[in-house]
Chain A
Amino acid sequence: MVSAVVISFDDNAYLEMCLKHLSFASQIIVIGTLDSKVHGRLKKELDIDYIENKNDEISTLFEIARRDCKHDWILGLEANMIVPTKLKSEIQSIVETQKTPKIFKAKTQFDFMGKSMKFSGFRTKWKPILWSKKSKNIGTSQLNSKFTTLYLDFDSFSQRTTQIAKRKAFKLYSKKVKPNMIDFIWKPFWTLKKECVFNLCILDGKQGFILAYLRAFMQLKTYLFLWLNYRNLE
């Protein structure tokens, strides 16, 4: 038996797709923020538990949801992540057979603008998605199957990056970080270079470059939002 925890930052469009692939979970908890209409509908259709919490720290949200999990195994996802059939089977077999507590990581499959991203920082990106309630500070294992990062359309993707930038800006603001010209000019260019060269986006061709650009621009937006946070105080 597994409890699924899904984090939503008003990810209404993504959430439905994510939840549809979680029918194997005995309990589904959605935590974060969610449109009330979508919540009402999902509650009726899928019987989810919803915890409203405006905290933007993913690890904190998982920790809060953990207390409400009825089962020993927890599957932790963000709203734009989907569990395909292969991964589902692997998770089910772990839950049934694994006796010692452990954390399981999985790689992501990401199709961006019609192309499967093989590099673009995703090649080596492992994410912990399954753990036991008792598995704090215990070694990790890797899952063979990948989870899917959803790409609905360019608008939704772009809006999501803007939301992430806002959350990052707010986090920096709460740490009293002030933006300067280096943040505005150098950091986005550095991010573009880092994504293209070190994270190998360039090997994914045109789509890889576009993705690298969007991440660099997200960096710029983060500092613009941060600057705005200070400006609004004046």
Chain B
Amino acid sequence: MIKLSAVIITFNEEEHLEKCLSSLQNIADEIVVVDSYSTDGTKKICKDFGVRFIEQKFLGYKEQKNFALTQAKYDYILSLDGDEALSDTLKKSIIEVKNNWNKDGYYCNRLNNYCGQWIRHSDWYPDRKLRLFKKESGTWKGINPHDCFTLISGKKSGQLKGNLLHWIYRDYEEHNQKIERFSSIAAQAYFDLGIKASFFKILWRPSWAFFKAYFLRRGFLDGFNGWVICIQTYNVTFLKYIKLRELWRQNNMKR
């Protein structure tokens, strides 16, 4: 049986961290928490669970996760956020894989909880994530804030049964704040990559994002919250491209 390190990055995660750490009992052989100097009870919870607690200034999502990887003792990694936990089916599935590891990485579906409701459609489900992998088989990549673990070309991946539970937003207010923040981060990332925001993109991309999430991926089946999520998908895409356009305008003004 392989030995597994669970690595978690946190910042003010006291609300869900207990669920996260409890779900890792008897699954992970080591738990490492990399915290960005939380001001709530995160540190105390970690001490109570006896996990290895490392404080590190926030470097960016993927950078922080890559840093966390370097802190793990074992070669096999289960990477989580502080607001995620393993479902019972996923736990069983991970135990099976630990006994018979034959791939480089394993995907699982992430089930998101929005304002108390589990969202089973739209862009939010199955929301496949590669969270169980060999340390040297890849690296955290992606455009901030959408980080993802990417396997090196030629490496093989499998699929785990069960869901990774994710308490994404407690209320609409939190969702709204995240949208403002994430659209700014994404716009900056696009700007750094030299991506432009034409007026066509500003009009087309949000509309397509909404159509895809609400109709093609059946977001309407999640009721009112499904509709809110799809509208916010539209909004975040729209804001991202407008902010990107603003960045280019400011950049041109500086010249």
Contact = CB atoms under 8 A, between A and B. Distances in A.
Interface of A: 113-114, 153-155, 158-159, 162, 184, 206, 210, 213, 217, 220-221, 224-225, 228
B180 A159 contact: yes
Interface of B: 171-173, 176, 180, 184, 199, 202, 227-228, 231, 235, 238-239, 242-243, 245-246, 249, 253
Contacts of B249: 113-114
A159 to B, nearest CB: 7
B173 A210 contact: no
Contacts, number: 33
A108 B233 CA distance: 33
Contact of A228 (B173, B202, B245): B173
Contact of B238 (A159, A213, A220): A213
Given A206-B199, A213-B238, 18 more contacts: A114-B249, A153-B246, A154-B243, A154-B246, A155-B180, A155-B184, A155-B243, A159-B180, A162-B180, A206-B202, A210-B202, A210-B242, A220-B231, A224-B172, A225-B172, A228-B171, A228-B172, A228-B173
Contacts of B245: 113
A224 B199 contact: no
A43 to B, nearest CB: 29
A20 B115 CA distance: 43
A11 B34 CA distance: 36
The secondary-structure label for the interface of chain B is helix
B46 to A, nearest CB: 31
B172 A158 contact: no
Contacts of A184: 227
Contacts of A210: 202, 242
A218 to B, nearest CB: 11
6 contacts: A113-B245, A155-B243, A158-B239, A206-B202, A213-B238, A228-B171
A179 to B, nearest CB: 10
B196 to A, nearest CB: 14
B228 A224 contact: yes
Contacts of B243: 154-155
6 closest A-B pairs by beta carbon, nearest first, are A154-B246, A206-B199, A114-B249, A228-B172, A154-B243, A224-B172
Contacts of B180: 155, 158-159, 162
Contacts of A159: 180
A210 B180 CA distance: 16
A200 B102 CA distance: 63
Contacts of B199: 206
A113 B246 contact: yes
B69 to A, nearest CB: 33
